[in-house]
């Protein structure tokens, strides 16, 4: 019965209006009934008249419900604003009854309901209606936490068979949600890479902050469709447009900017898999760099207020094509922020963090599948280690960085201590209960390094008011020089000459020392 009820409820965008109205009306009548009984202890013969009187006053509360639009948000997503609307509707009904009584000098029907009865009824009705909504919200969130599909169609339990937090135990990251909501509320927000691991979680978090509109872009149709379904299920009140779009297509982007006029952009679209980009360096430039350049330039043209780019620790002293491409993106955004062409004062903010646990194609889902298959679990090297965060942790910090508002800065997240990949594998095997699973070593992949950094040797950090966020002090670049060099790089990439592309990347980012034997010889050949 419980599963059938849950399935029915989750299939709805929200509970039907008439169901909620009936429940609230019944609550208001019962609250008045109990208030009168407690205050007057009436004889049983008086109760039918009392109920008739309370029912006669009910339309005033219904009008209050309509005026304050208490069903504007789905009950399972109720927040403080929604509870205030409930209180307003009840107050409207009670005041209307008082005015009616003053005007007619008596009750319309039967029982005399005193002012203290109305006050008691209002307070009790508010408590009961609030309690009902909070219980529904808590039950829904608990159910979804354990059973909802993520954007890749797997539940939390299916993804790992174990809780991600068990792999990375530490204190929950707390951010200033009031500041974040003030920044996001009633804004037109564009999110690129909205179907990806980071992008989809950003969508989920931003949708809860009451944006005016959301525009979600991704080149991958299926993950974007899954995000669309998630939003229709969990945030049906959000005005959202999902667009299958390549961020390198300038005409399409221009059209979208012109019609949507975004105020805030979260740029999470990128090719991210290191081995793939080692084999396809020109595509790394054409997607990661050229896409970022086009988005950043349009942000200037259309007066975007805040542009937040999601970067990676692989951009620090990069040893692979992917990391170097993201460092080039950082350089472009930083230099454009400080250039005279930024006439509207767009704040270009870069967020830099390490790996996220459980992202699509990452080690955790890979290890999970290998464990299910009976092993072995393959680790590239016994000493390899990485910084890790949970996806919600990273996305919360991205939102917090967006509120700080200092353009041209690179915000570095405190990732905690680095984790050895072999220790992660052992932990997953231990938590799976399969003690016979073996670990094997496959060797480092092209472009892969043993250790990753959040800062290079020349960088220092400045504190921010937020415990887990620092500012990286990086080299300043002149935009004209950066623009010319990057455009030359993009033109080279369009020729699909991999070696020449990588050589020019090394010229732009001198600290890029490739760990790939194929490109290593180009290190000093600028």
Q: Catalytic residues, which ones?
A: 314
CA pair distance 13, 152, nearest whole angstrom? 21
Q: Which two tokens stand for residue 91?
A: 């107050």
Token pair belonging to 1: 């019965």
Distance of CA 329 to the CA centre of its chain: 22
| First and final C-alpha spacing in the chain | 69
CA dist., res. 140 & res. 17, Å (int): 18
Q: Estimate to the nearest angstrom the gap between the alpha carbon of 431 and the chain centroid.
A: 28
Residue 27 and residue 133 in contact, taking contact as beta carbons nearer than 8 Å:
no
| Torsional class of 110: left (φ above 0), alpha (ψ -120 to 50), beta (otherwise) | left
Question: Which DSSP string corresponds to 449-503?
Answer: -S---SS-TT-EEEE-SSTTEEEEE-----HHHHHHHHHHHHHHHHTT-HHHHHH
Report the Cα 496 to chain-centroid distance in Å.
35
Question: Is residue 284 within 8 Å of residue 321, measured between CB atoms?
Answer: yes
């Amino acid at each position: 019965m419980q599963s059938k009820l849950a399935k029915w409820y989750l299939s709805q965008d929200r509970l039907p209006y008439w169901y909620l109205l009936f429940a609230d009306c019944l609550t208001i009548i019962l609250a008045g009934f109990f208030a009168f009984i407690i205050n007057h202890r009436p004889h049983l013969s008086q109760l039918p008249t009392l109920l008739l009187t309370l029912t006669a006053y009910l339309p005033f509360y219904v009008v209050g419900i309509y005026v304050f639009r208490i069903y504007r948000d789905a009950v399972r997503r109720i927040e403080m604003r929604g509870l205030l609307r409930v209180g307003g509707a009840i107050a409207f009904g009670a005041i209307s009854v008082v005015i009616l009584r003053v005007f007619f000098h008596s009750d319309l029907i039967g029982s005399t309901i005193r002012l203290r009865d109305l006050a008691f009824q209002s307070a009790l009705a508010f408590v009961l209606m609030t309690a009902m909504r909070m219980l529904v919200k808590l039950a829904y969130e608990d159910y979804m936490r354990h059973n909802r599909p993520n954007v890749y169609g797997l539940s939390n339990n299916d993804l790992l068979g174990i809780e991600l937090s068990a792999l990375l135990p530490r204190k929950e990251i707390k951010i200033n949600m009031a500041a974040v909501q003030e920044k996001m509320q009633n804004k037109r927000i564009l999110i690129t890479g909205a179907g990806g691991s980071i992008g989809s979680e950003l969508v989920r978090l931003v949708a809860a902050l009451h944006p005016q509109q959301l525009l979600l872009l991704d080149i991958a149709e299926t993950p974007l469709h899954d995000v669309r379904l998630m939003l229709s299920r969990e945030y049906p009140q959000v005005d959202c447009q999902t667009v299958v779009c390549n961020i390198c297509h300038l005409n399409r982007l221009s059209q979208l900017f012109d019609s949507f006029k975004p105020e805030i952009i979260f740029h999470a679209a990128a090719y991210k898999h290191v081995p793939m980009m080692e084999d396809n360096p020109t595509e790394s430039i054409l997607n990661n760099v050229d896409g970022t350049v086009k988005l950043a330039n349009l942000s200037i043209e259309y007066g975007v207020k805040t542009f937040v780019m999601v970067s990676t620790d692989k951009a620090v002293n990069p040893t692979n094509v992917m990391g170097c491409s993201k460092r080039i993106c950082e350089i472009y955004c930083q230099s454009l922020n400080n250039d005279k062409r930024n006439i509207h004062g767009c704040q270009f903010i870069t967020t830099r963090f390490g790996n996220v646990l459980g992202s699509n194609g990452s080690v955790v889902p890979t290890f999970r599948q290998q464990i299910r298959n009976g092993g072995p679990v393959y680790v590239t090297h016994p000493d390899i280690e990485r910084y890790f965060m949970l996806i919600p942790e990273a996305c919360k910090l991205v939102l917090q960085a967006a509120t700080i508002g200092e353009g041209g800065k690179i915000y570095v997240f405190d990732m905690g201590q680095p984790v050895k990949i072999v220790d992660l594998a052992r932990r997953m095997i231990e938590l799976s209960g399969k003690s016979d699973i073996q670990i094997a070593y496959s060797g480092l992949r092209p472009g892969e390094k043993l250790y990753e950094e959040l800062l290079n040797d020349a960088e220092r950090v400045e504190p921010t008011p937020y415990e887990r966020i620092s500012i990286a002090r990086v080299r300043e670049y002149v935009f004209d020089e950066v623009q010319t060099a990057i455009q030359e790089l993009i033109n080279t990439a369009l020729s699909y000459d991999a070696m020449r592309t990588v050589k020019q990347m090394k010229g732009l980012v001198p600290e890029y020392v490739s760990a790939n034997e194929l490109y290593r010889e180009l290190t000093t050949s600028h």
